[in-house]
Amino acid sequence: MGNDMNQPGNDQEPWLSRHLAKLLGGIVVIALIAAVTLVSIYHYHLGALAIDEQSPAGWGQLGDYFGGVLNPIFSFLTILALVLTLTLQSRELKLSREELELSRTELRKSAEALRGQNKAIDRQSFEQTFFSWLNTYRELLASIELSSNDEVLRGKRALMRLWSYLLDASHVWSTIRKQYPYLPTANTNRPAAGRAEDSLRSLQEGERGLVSKVAIERWEELYAKYEYQLDSLFRVLYRLIVWIDSQDEERLSPAQKWLYVSIVRAQLSWIELVYLFYNGHTERGKSFKRLAEKYALFDNLNFATDPVIAIVKACPPDTVGYRLSAYESRLARVAMGLSESSEQTLAMASDT
């Protein structure tokens, strides 16, 4: 029994709990047996010796005899009973603590699972709103119409035609030549459009500012004429990126914000980026300019395609222009505290 009580295991506490009453009863029985035995021994050996009832000393000696023999026995048995009781209480307290800790662990796991589930639901809700918003932008883009030569152009084709009417190299160079006729036209064997591009590229640094000035003037002319179609397009895209950028970090980490804005950026064609690029150089586009710099919205914009936007980039009309982070994702990620590597940033976005 002693070995079972001291062995670690799941059965020692139940055994002690079940048998504690019997053990305490046994201790009481042992105490009674000891008392009866002592009285019997006294009666057998000393019973013939009478005690003077009038002599207190005789009764005192008898009490000393019984007390001297029984007190150690009773004290030992009392201590034994106390030890058993305290042992049981200690083990029950230990069990209670273990059960409490187990309950806390299970509760913690349940809370973590619930948080994970809520986070997944929240992410699903976010993505539904995100893709719905992005689809609204696509629908607005597709709704842009331009009638040209008995033909109705829509969406990106309409934007391209408007650009070719007012902002391509030929029209910008033609306007510059009218305002500044002293500027030489490149003498090449290319067609008129090619000569205009070569002329723009051959301008000296001090002359390129004229190109930026004219380009922004032509852009403002285009926007004023077609604002009824362009304003909602720009506004929806701006609000979408602002919404992503303004999310609390508990909902979206910086890496995740970068991921979702990158998805938006990947949807933008060259001509859409050109329109956004020009608009960021105007007073109404200042707020968008900050976002373009933060998320490198023009990283995919090919400036070699059009010398006009290349000159505006190098010699902005407001003398400040966009910061380099608007054109380089690596710089923008570093400014946000992310990795220079796009792969590592994507991994961070997936882990959080």
pLDDT at 48: 46
pLDDT band at 279 (very low <50, low <70, confident <90, very high): very high
Of 244, 240, 262, nearest in space to 343 by CA = 262
pLDDT at 118: 77
pLDDT of 346 > 90? The answer is no
Residue type, 331: L
Out of 127-141, 195-209, 225-239, 304-318, least confident range: 195-209
pLDDT of 171 > 70? The answer is yes
Write the CA distances from 161 to 105, 151, 175, 200, integer angstroms: 66, 11, 18, 21
The pTM for the full model equals 0.70
Distance in angstroms (rounded) separating the CA atoms of residues 103 and 123 = 30
Of 142, 162, 307, 150, nearest in space to 224 by CA = 162
Do 293 and 181 form a contact (C-beta atoms < 8 A)? no
pLDDT at 47: 54
Is 288 strand, coil or helix?
Answer: helix
pLDDT at 190: 80
Out of 14-28, 148-162, 185-199, 334-348, least confident range: 14-28
pLDDT at 313: 93
Distance in angstroms (rounded) separating the CA atoms of residues 307 and 197 = 6
Distance in angstroms (rounded) separating the CA atoms of residues 147 and 124 = 41
pLDDT of 251 > 80? The answer is yes
pLDDT at 1: 46
Q: What is the pLDDT of residues 57-102, one digit of tens each?
A: 544 555 555 566 666 766 766 776 676 677 767 777 877 888 888 8
- CB-count burial class (<10 Å; 0-12, 13-18, 19+) for 161: middle
Out of 41-50, 177-186, 221-230, least confident range: 41-50
pLDDT band at 55 (very low <50, low <70, confident <90, very high): low
pLDDT at 92: 75
pLDDT band at 112 (very low <50, low <70, confident <90, very high): confident
Out of 28-32, 226-230, 264-268, 318-322, least confident range: 28-32
pLDDT band at 43 (very low <50, low <70, confident <90, very high): low
E-strand stretches of 71-161: 145-148, 151-154
Mean pLDDT value of segment 6-11: 47
